[in-house]
Amino acid sequence: MTSDRSERRLAASVRLAGRAPAPAQRVGLPRAWVAVVSVLYSIGLGMVLFWPVHVDGEGGLIDPGWLLGLLGSWGLSAAVRYPLVESAGNALMFLPLGALWIAWVRRPRWRSVVVAMAIALAVSLAAEIVQARYLPARTFDPRDLVANTIGAGTGAAVALVAVRSWFRPSGPVLRDPVR
């Protein structure tokens, strides 16, 4: 009985729209581009996560001295400056992971943001374990797990809002009656 009702609603909406409903289409960027960008991002992320020493220390990739100095000139104590800069850097480093996940998903929804956060947590946990076990100059820091997860969630949420606002279909939207 329910399928008859659904079929009648679908037929009525097709008549009103004057055209057949399009099959569910992916919104956003082509998947090939998302895959290429994801591979490049993964290479960069891997370099940062598995660099033999802390990336912001002696022999690292990044020198945060100028930013720490700026925060110090604003009156922030050294005990607050470095953890703040480190956490912000970790969150920024994982923003693309969340955005790329939203770009990859065929029909992004808010639960996709939660999935992006779970992926970031798993990647971060694996990286922290590898750092603690196999890289003697690196340390396991649970704050990194939190910052990375928040960063990926923020990137996913921003990307989801962007996808929903920029890639809206033109014309009437016909919903698929089958869920």
Determine the Cα–Cα distance for residues 138 and 51; give it in Å rounded to an integer.
9
Determine the Cα–Cα distance for residues 105 and 20; give it in Å rounded to an integer.
25
Band of pLDDT at residue 12, cut at 50, 70 and 90: low
Phi, psi of 119, rounded to the nearest 5 degrees: -60, -45
Q: Where are the beta strands (DSSP E) in 2-83?
A: none
Global pTM reads 0.71
- Two tokens at 101? 């996940």
**Mean pLDDT, residues 88-97 taken together:** 94
Q: Identify the pLDDT of residue 43.
A: 96
DSSP 87: H
Band of pLDDT at residue 83, cut at 50, 70 and 90: confident
How many other C-beta atoms can be found within 10 angstroms of the C-beta atom of residue 8?
11
Question: pLDDT by residue (tens digit) across 132-151?
Answer: 999 998 889 999 999 999 99
- Two tokens at 86? 């480190």
Question: pLDDT by residue (tens digit) across 99-144?
Answer: 999 999 988 999 999 999 999 999 999 999 999 999 998 889 999 9
- Residue 96 in contact with residue 111, Cβ under 8 Å? no
Q: Which residue has the tokens 């005990």?
A: 79
Radius of gyration of the chain (CA): 22
Provide the mean pLDDT of the chain.
81
Determine the Cα–Cα distance for residues 150 and 137; give it in Å rounded to an integer.
25
Question: pLDDT by residue (tens digit) across 52-81?
Answer: 887 766 666 677 777 777 777 888 777 677
